[in-house]
Amino acid sequence: MSEPFPALLQRSLDNNNICFITGPTAAGKSALALSAARRIGAEIISCDAMQVYREINICSDKPTAAMRAAVPHHLLDVASVEEDFNAAKYRALAVTAIGDVLSRGRKAIVCGGSGMYMMAILDGLFDNIEVPAGLRESLLARIEREGLMTLYNELKVVDPQAAAKINPNDPVRIVRALEVFQAVGKPISALQQTREGLWGKETIALVGIERPREELYIRAEQRIDEMFEHGLVEEVRGLLGLRLTPNAARLIGIPEAKGFINGEYDLERAKYLMKLNTRHYIKRQMTWFRKDARIQWITQI
């Protein structure tokens, strides 16, 4: 006998043209999205920061060929690890893909755990700010000289609202917030208030999958073991000859496997580090999602 389909999700699909299925790593988003899409004839828009990259398949736990054959998937394999890719580029592609799906009379299921990408679709992004040449490079050089925490502490002074939402270990967002402030003299948090997204313009439901944290950890660690069995190290080895962008280079799985390949530690240590960093990522995801009151949570899937 098949498992009962979540009633909350069914109502969300029935009453909205766009349904987000979100939640932390290893919650079961992809399987549920596939089931939902097949149930109503919808198409899936990936909302995953790793799955956009063509060269990363095992490490990103990308939907299989069979899954992609069963239901149309969008926003997979749209960039190279050597190409700068950010939330603004993702948003442009995602909004276009969603519009295309809706124009053909089908519903769109946006599936993934990237909170930043989800926010970009729902709430939009403020207009790109022109940054003077060399400003970003000077901030990156300061990180090397003075440490990331020095810049983070500066951000807390000039834009405490932005700093409160940024992980102190996230150099990309810290540098971006500081360069915007230095370029235009206004906090990035204030500029973000002017953005517009699809929320309020389309009928949208946000459904999150909730599991006990220890269960998430167990599921994530089992999946990581499977990734190593299926060739994660070989996949990362194939990336070493490429010039990875900073965003791509820090994706979970790549630095851990790279350390093993470079002889810094053994395979078990690589697995341990990937599991540890995934646990930390799950905590950050849940902190992000819990702040969004629009998400309705399901506990039985």
Q: Per the structure block, which two tokens stand in for 159?
A: 């834009």
CB 211 within 8 A of CB 297: no
Report pLDDT for 292: 93
Domains and CATH numbers, the chain: 7-126+196-211+286-298 (3.40.50.300), 135-194 (1.10.20.140), 213-284 (1.10.287.890)
Q: How many Cβ atoms sit within 10 Å of the Cβ of residue 66?
A: 8
Report pLDDT for 127: 59
Report pLDDT for 1: 35
Q: Per the structure block, which two tokens stand in for 164?
A: 């409160």
Q: pLDDT tens per residue, the chain (301 residues)?
A: 355 789 999 999 999 999 999 999 999 999 999 999 999 999 999 999 999 999 999 999 999 999 999 999 999 999 999 998 988 899 999 999 999 999 999 999 999 999 999 999 999 886 566 777 788 889 999 999 999 999 999 999 999 999 998 999 989 889 989 998 998 888 988 887 777 899 999 999 999 999 999 999 999 999 999 999 999 999 999 999 999 998 899 999 999 999 999 999 999 999 999 999 999 999 999 999 998 999 999 986 6
Q: Please, what sign has the CA dihedral across residues 152, 153, 159, 163?
A: positive
Alpha helices in 166-210 (DSSP H): 171-184, 188-191
Pairing of the two strands 43-46 and 204-209: unpaired
Strand partners, 79: 53
Report pLDDT for 279: 97
Report pLDDT for 136: 86
Length of the chain, in residues: 301
Query: CA 44, CA 169: separation in Å to the nearest integer?
Result: 32
Burial of residue 131 (CB within 10 Å: 0-12, 13-18, 19+) is middle
Q: 242: Cβ–Cβ under 8 A, 6 or more apart, which residues?
A: 55, 80, 81, 82
CA nearest neighbour of 98 among 180, 231, 244, 203: 203
Order of strands across the sheet that contains 204-209: 73-74, 43-46, 108-111, 18-22, 204-209, 295-298
Report pLDDT for 165: 87
